[in-house]
Structure 1
Amino acid sequence: MARVIFYTATTLDGYLADEADSLDWLFAVPGGEGGDADFQTFLDGIGVLVQGSTTYQWVLDHEDLIAHPEKWPAFYGPRPTWVFTTRELPAVPGADVRFAAGPVTDYWSQIREAAGHLDVWVVGGGDLAGQFVDAGLLDEIRVSVAPATLGAGRPLLPRRFGADRLKLTDVRRNGQFAELTYAVRS
């Protein structure tokens, strides 16, 4: 059965993006561009990606993917990607991008089927990951904490969690980042 994993980076004060929805803070930290061996191993176990419209729009704009769709595989490979949105967004030419509007539970059977025996990666943002939590579908949170603060912006996970819902299962250092892995209990 596919697991659902929210794997992201956050600032020390718990923000995914700044107030302008930018991730520039992340790329200012050495190693923030990702791509280490552990991340590649993680990616090898992923069958489907899920992301919110703001995350998708940022990647489109930051990498100019509509004009350069050949860059898409470097980020996500051939995996199907569901984008949860309430607005019209362009699809990256040649990429398997599927737009969804409504609750994650309405699309869960399609997502699970497309993932097969591999896992589902909730790329971002925090509110979408929270919707998976609310539906009882999120199995794991993997967060790389960067040595940076923003003071405001998009929160890591805009939900209230008690210690009874999260169990720390791994801690590792990756350059300037501390990676924490938590199992999510329903």
Structure 2
Amino acid sequence: MTRVIFNTATTLDGYLADDADSLSWLFGVPGADEATSDFPDFLTTIGAIVMGSTTFEWVVRHEDLLTKPEKWQDFYGGRLCVVMTTRKLPAIDGADIRFHAGPVTDICCELQEAAGDRDVWVVGGGDLVGQFADAGLLDEIRVSIAPVTLGSGRPLLPRRLESDRLTLESARKAGQFAELVYSVGRPDRSRG
């Protein structure tokens, strides 16, 4: 069965990016190569991708995808990518990218169909992941915690998820990172 997975890195104080949407804090951590060594294996389990507009814009800028669109294919392959946005964003030549404005529930069937017998990766950001959690559509959170604090920035998951919805499945050390995997239960709609 297709699962929806959030796999990301965060700072020790719970930020995905700094106030300028930069990930420079992540690239400066010693041992990052070791922490990401199993990422290619993770990608083989992914059949479709969804990301927010700020994340998409960062990837396009950081990888210079408008002039080097082949880099999209090198990393994401031919997977469908749905970008959640209310703004007009540039298309990447040769990439199966669809832009969607509206609730995440509207795109779930499309993502699951594209994923086939593999999973859907919610790349980010935190609010988008929160929308999947709110709708009861998020199955797993994989977070690599870096030995960095920022004090402010883009929060990991700007939602309240209580321990009755999160179950720790595994924890491991990867270089200077701690990788935690939580399964996510469905929200209890009977609570006020």
Q: CA deviation at 1:73?
A: 2.1
CA contact (8 A) 1:11 1:146 kept: yes
Q: CA deviation at 1:34?
A: 7.5
Give SS of 1:99's match: strand
What TM-score do the two structures reach when normalised by structure 1?
Answer: 0.96
- What is residue 162 of structure 1 aligned with on the other side? 162
Q: CA deviation at 1:30?
A: 2.6
Deviations 1:21-63 (A, max 9, x none): 1111111113446784421111100000110000000010011
What count of residue pairs does the alignment treat as equivalent?
Answer: 186
Q: CA deviation at 1:74?
A: 2.6
- What is residue 189 of structure 2 aligned with on the other side? none
1:11-160 correspondence to structure 2 within 5 Å: 11-32=11-32, 36-160=36-160
CA contact (8 A) 2:167 2:184 kept: yes
CA contact (8 A) 2:18 2:153 kept: yes
Judging changes above 3 Å, is the alpha-carbon distance between structure 1 residues 125 and 95 closer, same or farther for their aligned structure 2 residues? same
In 1, the alpha carbon distance for the partners of 2:133 and 2:123 equals 14
Deviations 1:63-101 (A, max 9, x none): 110011111123211111110011010011111111111
Judging changes above 3 Å, is the alpha-carbon distance between structure 1 residues 116 and 35 closer, same or farther for their aligned structure 2 residues? farther
Q: Which runs of 4+ in 1 moved over 6 A?
A: none
In 1, the alpha carbon distance for the partners of 2:35 and 2:68 equals 20
Matched letter for residue 172 of structure 2: R
In 1, the alpha carbon distance for the partners of 2:158 and 2:35 equals 27
Point out where structure 1 has 5 or more consecutive residues left out of the alignment.
none
What TM-score do the two structures reach when normalised by structure 2?
Answer: 0.93
* Identity of matched residues, %: 66
Give SS of 1:51's match: strand
Matched letter for residue 21 of structure 1: D
CA contact (8 A) 1:10 1:144 kept: yes
In 2, the alpha carbon distance for the partners of 1:126 and 1:163 equals 18
Point out where structure 2 has 5 or more consecutive residues left out of the alignment.
187-192
